[in-house]
Amino acid sequence: MGPPSGWLTCAAPGYRLAISLDKNGARRADGEARLRFPAIRQVRAFVVRGGGADYHDQGEGHWIDDHIATPMARYAEYRQSRQSFGINVLGTLVVEIEAADGTIGFAVTTGGEPACYIVERHLSRFLEGRDPMEVEKIWDQMYFSTLFYGRKGLVVNAISGVDLALWDLLGKLRGEPVHQLLGGAVREELQFYATGARPDLAKDMGFIGGKMPLHYGPGEGEEGLKKALTEIADMRGRVGPDFWLMLDCWMSLDLNHATRLARNAWEESGLKWIEEALSPDDYWGYRELKRNVPPGMLVTTGEHEATRWGFRMLLEMDCCDIIQPDVGWCGGVTELIKIANLADAHGKLMVPHGSSVYSYHFVITRHNSPFAEYLMMAPKADKVVPMFAPQLLGEPVPQNGRIKLSALDKPGFGVEINRAIELHRPYPR
C-alpha cells in the first residue's frame, strides 16, 4: 500500500520523509516532516549455550569458576565451583527484531530459555507492527505489563535484551552507530581496567587497573580472611604501589566481614575499591559500609541492581561511590540513560559492568563514565580475547588497554551474530 492521501514521500536508506499536504499541494499548517521507518515485522528469541553473554557458562579450568566467594559459599559443598550451584544453567538469550524491509537488529544477554518465553509470548505484542522509533513507549509498556511478576532479575534481563536489539535495529536503519544516536562521543577513545585472576598480567597489557576476585568469604572464618588479605598483598607486590588494584566480592560478605576486609586491605595493600560486597538488596548495609571504610577507599556496587528506582535507592541513601549497572540486566540503553542522569545529578561516577559493545557505545558518550570494564575471558586471564566470543562477530577488543572511537563507527552496535553457532528457538510463533 502507498502512503496515505495527502502525504508526499521521498525514498532514503531505511526510511521515508513524509510531509502532510493540503488538496492544493501546499503544506498544511499542522503538517510536519518526519522520518517513517519500516514497521517491526517480527521478534524472535533464541537460547545459546557455551560462553558469550552468559560468561559463567565455561569449560573446566576457567578462572571464573575457581573457588570464588559467592553467597552460596556459606555451604562448603558449593565453594569450589560456581557452576556447582547452577550459575550457568540459563545460557545466553539472543533477541532478534526484524523490520518490514528485512533489516535485523539483535542483542545478547543472559536469561536463556525462560527469558525466551517472556520475549516471545509476552513482550512481542508491544513491538510487532510498531514503529521502531517508539523506544520510550515500548520500554514503558514492557516494564509495566510485567510489573506483577517482574521488577528485577530475569524479567528485566529479557526487557534489556529486547531494548538493546531495538537500539541495534535503529542504528542499522539510520546507518549510524548507537553512540551517535545517544548524542555523540565525548572522547576519542575508551580506556579500560581489567577484571580477572591476574591483575599483574593486565598491567603488562596496558590496562589502567586490575580487579581480582575474592576467593575466601565469611564461611571460611578468620583463616579465610587472612588468606584473602594475603592474596591481595601478594598481588600488590606484583603490580607495584601505583597500579589500581580492586576486589570483586560478588555479593558474598556480611557488613562486619566486609568492613574488616576493607580496612585491612586498605592499610596493608592500598586497595582502591571493594565491589559488590553485600547482597544487592541490603541498601542499609551498603550505607554503613561506605561510612566504615577508610577515607580514600571507594565502595562500588550495582551490577545486580535494576531500573532507575533501584539505583535511586543506592544514590539517595549514599550507598556507594561508583554505580555499576549492567546494560543487559538493568533495563537496556533506554533505562541506562535515566540511571546515568541520576548518577550525574548526585555527583557519582557510573562505570557499567562489563558488557562488551553494549556498554562501550554508552560510556564513550558520558563524562561521568570516564573508563570502562573489560572481563578477561581467556581461561587463565593471560591474554585479551573477545569478551562475548563465540557469539559476536566483529567485537572490538582493547589494544594496550584502549579502544579507539573509530572501532565503534559501524551501524548499530557494530557486531553481528555468529550464525555458525546453534541458535535454538524454543517458543516459535
Using the 8-state DSSP alphabet, how is residue 418 labeled? -
Sequence letter at residue 390: P
304 and 276 Cβ atoms separated by less than 8 Å: yes
Cα torsion angle, 166, 172, 177, 183, sign: negative
How does strand 349-350 pair with strand 372-375? unpaired
Name the burial class of residue 149, with classes exposed (0-12), middle (13-18) and buried (19+) by CB atoms within 10 angstroms of its CB.
exposed
Catalytic residue among 179, 304, 353, 361: 353
177 DSSP assignment: B
Region for residue 397 given its phi and psi (left: phi exceeds 0; alpha: psi -120 to 50; beta: otherwise): beta
Dihedral sign computed on CA atoms, order 261, 264, 268, 269: positive
SS in 3 state form for 323-343?
ECCCCCCCCHHHHHHHHHHHH
> Residue 85 carries which DSSP code?
G
Q: Which residues lie closer than 8 Å to 365 by C-beta, 6 or more apart?
A: 179, 182, 183, 184, 185, 186
- In which residue are the cell numbers 577484571 written? 195
96 burial type by CB count under 10 A (0-12 exposed, 13-18 middle, 19+ buried): buried
Q: Is the CB of residue 68 less than 8 Å from the CB of residue 83? A: no
- The x, y and z cell numbers of residue 409, run together, are 563507527
Per DSSP bridges, beta strands 40-48 and 7-12 are unpaired
Q: In DSSP terms, which residues pair with 13 in a beta bridge?
A: none
Q: Compute the half-sphere exposure of residue 344: CA atoms within 13 Å on the CB side of its CA.
A: 12
CA distance 232 to 266: 10
What grid cell was written down for 353? 559492568
How far are the Cα atoms of 206, 236, 246 from residue 212, in angstroms, in the given order?
A: 16, 11, 6
Active site residue 353: yes
What is the spatial distance between Cα 268 and Cα 179, in angstroms, rounded to a whole number? Answer: 41
Give the residue numbers annotated as catalytic, written as ranges: 353
